[in-house]
Structure 1
Amino acid sequence: MWLYLVVLLGLWNLLRLFRERKVVSHLQDKHVFITGCDSGFGNLLARQLDRRGMRVLAACLTENGAEELRSKTSDRLETVILDVTKTESIVAATQWVKERVGNRGLWGLVNNAGISIPTVPNQWLNKQEFAKILDVNLLGMIEMTLNMLPLVRKARGRVVNVSSILGRVSFFGGGYCISKYGVEAFSDSLRRELSYFGVKVAIIEPGFFKTDITNSDTHLSNTKMVWDQASSEVKEIYGENFLASNLSMLKSLDQRCNEDLSLVTDCMEHALTSCHPRTRYSAGWDAKLFYLPMSYLPTFLVDAMIYWTSIKPDKAL
């Protein structure tokens, strides 16, 4: 009995591998629009797809980021300045893309732009600090997608949304985990809705990688700033020892992050170029072997694991 199950599992994996290796035709004629290309995953993906011969439309937040990217790529790649928190910027970028893709439509939309700070206990923050992250990671992504959908639908193309393993398990406060949970929900509903039109939607769920989002110096300075602005009640409850322990943990953040960003961009590329892309891609061994399995555990076990491994406030029971 077990032998039959092993054989069936092996055959299923071989069939899956064969299906996923089939690549869509005429890649050199397909346009892909990527947000957040100043650095990190977006920057590497733009260069990766450019080397493959695709027509990359890269959105950067700054002119310096755009200029640096153009210097490392072919003449095929074009850049545009985009702030996903501003409607007028999204509308202008959409029109810019429409002029370039014409009647062919947009084959790929990669919603990659994102920020992560502040990532501190919820009680340290106010509504505006939550909204700052949600405006970029979730609401900006939604508005970007809604504006680009007619072009993607015309090409019967792909939407690739960058979530995180923290969209499955929430380890800390602030808007980042909330935004990634929202990305998961929006992507699921979008995938089912667009399946009627031949459009495929994929979610990328990276573990911890070394990018500007995980830069420990940025997190350290932001944590200190939020602490300084916190109320006297919050400071009394959490205490200086809690702050010092968190700052020490943040200092070691870079050492725990994977530097091989291609593990993530390879997933993005597969979602854009495979005839049979996956619904979800987990990138990094920490995501595959720890965070993803953890997300399937009973809630009380996850709560207990986080409770006993986390830093406690000074006034905790």
Structure 2
Amino acid sequence: MWLYLAALLGLYFLRRWYRERQSVEGLPEKYVLITGCDSGFGNLLAKQLDARGLRVLAACLTQQGAEQLRKATSERLQTVILDVTRTDSIAAATAWVKEQVGHKGLWGLVNNAGIAVPVAPNEWLTKDDFVRVLDVNLIGLIEVTLSFLPLVKRARGRVINVASIMGRLAFFGGGYCPSKYGVEAFSDSLRREMLPFGVKVCVIEPGYFSTAVTNPQLIIENFTRLWKRLPEETKASYGESYLKAFIHATRDLPKSCNSDLSVVTGCMKHALTARHPRTRYSAGWDAKLIFLPLSYLPTWFADFVLTWSYPAPAQKV
């Protein structure tokens, strides 16, 4: 019996391997728009897709980022300035993309733009702190998607949304984790709605990677600024040692992060170029072997694992 089960399992993975190796035809004629191309995953993906011959439309937040990317790529790659938190900027970018793609439509939309800071215990934050992150990571992503969706439907293409393993497990306070949970929910509903139109919606769930959003000094400055504005009663309940422990842990953050960003962009490329892309891509061994399995285990166990290294506050029950 076990032999038959092993054979069936082997056939399943062999079939999956075969299907995932099949590529889409006519890639050099396909247009892909990527948001957040100033640095990190978006910047690297734009360079890799350009090298593969696709027609890359790279959306950058700054003119400097756009100029640097153009210098590092071929003449095929074109850039546009896009602030995903501004409706007028999205509208202008949409009009520009329509001119570029014409009747072919947009084969791929990669919603990569995102921020993490401010990050801190929820009690340290205000509504505006949450809104700042949600506007970029979730509301901006939704508005960009809705704006470009008609072009993607015309090409029967792909929508690739960058979530995070923190869209399954909330590690820390602030708007980042709620925004990634929201990306997961939006992607699920959109995927089902787009099935009749031949549009595929994929989610990328990276683990810990060394990108611009994990800049230790930026996070430390964020902690310090938030601490200074707290009421004295709140400061007393946590204690200075709590703040110092978080700062110390943040300085060591790069040691626990994967510096190979191509692990994530490899998932993005497969989602864009494979005939049979996956619905979800867990990028990084920490995501696959630790955090994803942990998200399915009992809540009490996940709480224990994720909080065992938390600093002790000054006032405990």
**Fold equivalence (TM over 0.5):** yes
1:171 counterpart residue number? 171
Q: Secondary structure at the match of 2:170?
A: coil
Q: Secondary structure at the match of 2:159?
A: strand
CA distance in 1, matches of 2:184, 2:253: 25
Q: Secondary structure at the match of 1:90?
A: helix
| Correspondence list, 1:273-292, <5 A | 273-292=273-292
| Correspondence list, 1:155-304, <5 A | 155-304=155-304
Q: CA deviation at 1:237?
A: 1.0
Q: CA deviation at 1:197?
A: 0.4
Q: Which consecutive segments of 4 or more residues in structure 1 shift more than 4 A?
A: none
| Correspondence list, 1:78-97, <5 A | 78-97=78-97
Deviates more, 1:55-64 or 1:300-309: 300-309
2:2 counterpart residue number? 2
Any idea what the Cα deviations from partners look like across 1:279-304, whole Å, max 9, x if unmatched?
00000111011001000011121122
Q: CA deviation at 1:119?
A: 1.1
Any idea what the Cα deviations from partners look like across 1:258-288, whole Å, max 9, x if unmatched?
0000000000000000000000000011101
Any idea what the Cα deviations from partners look like across 1:66-111, whole Å, max 9, x if unmatched?
0000000000000000100000000000111000000100000000
Q: Secondary structure at the match of 2:145?
A: helix
Deviates more, 1:105-114 or 1:2-11: 2-11
Output the aligned Cα RMSD: 0.7
CA distance in 2, matches of 1:246, 1:307: 13
Q: Which residue identity does 1:313 align to in structure 2?
A: P
Q: Which residue identity does 1:254 align to in structure 2?
A: P
CA distance in 1, matches of 2:237, 2:124: 11
Q: CA deviation at 1:309?
A: 2.8
Q: Secondary structure at the match of 2:114?
A: coil
CA distance in 2, matches of 1:14, 1:311: 47
Q: How many residues align?
A: 317
Q: CA deviation at 1:230?
A: 1.5
Q: Which residue identity does 2:195 align to in structure 1?
A: S
Report % sequence identity: 62
CA distance in 2, matches of 1:308, 1:48: 40
Answering whether residue 62 of structure 2 is matched by residue 62 of structure 1, we say yes
CA distance in 1, matches of 2:316, 2:99: 58
1:42 counterpart residue number? 42
Q: CA deviation at 1:308?
A: 2.5
Q: Which residue identity does 1:257 align to in structure 2?
A: C
Q: Secondary structure at the match of 1:79?
A: strand
Q: CA deviation at 1:236?
A: 1.0
TM-score by length of 1: 0.99
TM-score by length of 2: 0.99
Any idea what the Cα deviations from partners look like across 1:135-180, whole Å, max 9, x if unmatched?
0000000000000000000000000000000000001100000000
1:101 counterpart residue number? 101
Q: Secondary structure at the match of 1:309?
A: coil
Q: Which residue identity does 2:87 align to in structure 1?
A: T
Q: Which residue identity does 1:129 align to in structure 2?
A: D
Q: CA deviation at 1:232?
A: 1.4
Deviates more, 1:243-252 or 1:232-241: 232-241
Q: Which residue identity does 1:224 align to in structure 2?
A: T
Q: Which residue identity does 1:264 align to in structure 2?
A: V
Q: CA deviation at 1:226?
A: 1.0
CA distance in 1, matches of 2:289, 2:247: 27
Q: Which residue identity does 1:33 align to in structure 2?
A: L
Q: Secondary structure at the match of 2:74?
A: coil
Answering whether residue 122 of structure 2 is matched by residue 131 of structure 1, we say no
In structure 2, list runs of 5 or more residues that go unmatched. Answer: none
